[in-house]
Chain A
């Protein structure tokens, strides 16, 4: 059944489209090879008694027969999915054809690409292959090309970015990888120390060490204890060691293609965010980092899963990066942020002091949080709609909340503004959102 389908595809192509379709790296079928094994292990863990009974009944012959059926079936499935997956780059789009029984063709408009990631899990690094993932607005399912050869992935990324930037199709091949300039690199020592100074790390660790003994004392049931201890230990590990491993050697670079973010100790990730795709930037300052003057910078890109720009950096360095990411934006200093009026303390006692708002020519900046401070910056050009809300208690004290919605499905809120000020802000912000767009760069940023 494989041959006719392929013949058709090959035969059709020359007349219809002179686009060369390519296949993924031949190692791809192996990536799902562990799936049957995982299913068996999952079943065994789920129901250990039953598994034990079945194991004793198992003879060598049945095992061999099972292997003889499962292994070729898995191999055939892997091979067929690989054989039927094609991709092609045309002038305006990336086309991915997949599916054996249910055909699916994804057409990805190049100028709509929000970010391109090249990731290499540990095993892929050993095998010399990489995964290419594209972030596009409005798709729930992430389209990815797994796996490509390492050099092929880089070349493809460079080509996609060059075409998205608006280079002529003939020259897009030759443009090659744009040179990157390093903006910031996080030393491993700072990263480790920053994790030690994070409350969540300790919280997860304490929970993992305290809860299982308490449960043992209360229930004396091994299975209950194991069922809670394993996820808790997993969470503790993920929030400490896991974060260290994934955020190791975090490098932020700048190139004509956009922002480059490379990180990872075992799994390497190379992310590229083209210019003008960043919707929101948040500067977060946890309580324990304040003495050292460290901040974390998070960013929102429409359709992208990654949200960290800088895991930890001194404030000046972080602000310099933000200034490069959002051109023409300076982070407003703490003194420039206007606090809510004093009467707002009736609505939010104590924490009202943590709120603040500054509107500059380029950004809408809103601060919140008293212990863990967070300052969100939205460029005016990225504002999709503006809302003012006011509850009955807030109306009594003549304050209102201003919400600014961005395309990354995030809303930045300036809480507890004076009602009059909020009403003026609503009109002015809508106006700035409209005019802010005029100075913005086009989607094809090289044209």
Chain B
């Protein structure tokens, strides 16, 4: 899978050139999953082991099983996210079971936002969010490399200005 270096994307009207998300997002999500569920498993194990006996402490394996399942699900979800910059619009495709594909013409973009929370910043990630006049337009690309996020923002703004159209 191609990561977000992005500079070599050809902007053509034909077949879209899909770009996947960088692996940093997957790393961050998996780490958060393991940390939180690990803490839960330890807490639950200690509590049950001390109060009810060692047999009940086996229930602490449940969060661990959940973590294993989440590990796989997160991987699949991360692989499903991809976006493509075409000549006149941006394509975002995502979802494993519930798939969603969004097209936003550049001319309809009202605002492009780059956000980065404390955890995301620690992992060197940033999200790009597009707003159109319709609130239902949910066009967010999470977990991009900050340089790529800024390149995308500048490019979208530039294209949006060139093709601007109101409501």
Q: Which A residues are closer than 8 A to B by beta carbons? A: 137, 277, 279, 302, 382-392, 395, 403, 405-411, 423, 426-427, 429-431, 433-434, 437, 443
Contacts and interface: CB of A to CB of B under 8 A. Distances in A.
Query: How large, as a class, is the contact surface on chain B?
Result: 20 to 34
Nearest to B133: A407
A316 to B, nearest CB: 30
B103 A405 contact: no
Interface string B119-143: 0000000000000111111010000
B108 A433 contact: yes
Interface hub of B100, B101, B166, B167 (most chain A Cβ within 10 A): B167
Contacts of A383: 108
B88 A431 contact: yes
Contacts of B165: 437
22 contacts: A277-B167, A279-B167, A384-B108, A385-B102, A385-B134, A385-B139, A386-B102, A386-B103, A387-B100, A388-B101, A391-B98, A403-B136, A408-B134, A409-B134, A409-B135, A411-B136, A426-B103, A430-B89, A430-B105, A433-B108, A434-B89, A443-B166
B107 interface: yes
B99 A390 contact: yes
Contact of A411 (B103, B104, B134): B134
Chain A at the B interface: SS class: mixed
A424 B98 CA distance: 19
A382 B132 CA distance: 12
Given A385-B102, A385-B108, A390-B98, A405 B134 contact: yes
Contacts of A429: 103
A410 B108 CA distance: 16
B162 interface: no
A302 B135 CA distance: 11
Contacts of B100: 387-390
A433 B134 CA distance: 14
Nearest to A388: B101
Contact of B167 (A382, A411, A433): A382
A-B pairs with the 4 shortest C-beta distances?
A405-B134, A407-B133, A384-B134, A430-B103
A384 B133 CA distance: 7
Nearest to A440: B165
Contacts of A137: 133, 167
Given A407-B134, A431-B88, A434-B88, A392 B101 contact: no
Interface in B74-106: 88-89, 97-105
A434 B90 CA distance: 12
Given A434-B89, A443-B166, A392 B98 contact: yes
Nearest to A432: B105
Contacts of A423: 101
Contact of B137 (A277, A391, A405, A443): A405
Given A385-B102, A405-B132, A405-B134, 17 more contacts: A137-B167, A382-B167, A383-B108, A384-B104, A384-B133, A385-B132, A385-B134, A385-B139, A388-B99, A390-B100, A392-B97, A395-B99, A407-B133, A409-B136, A426-B101, A426-B103, A433-B105
Contacts of B88: 430-431, 434
B167 A407 contact: yes
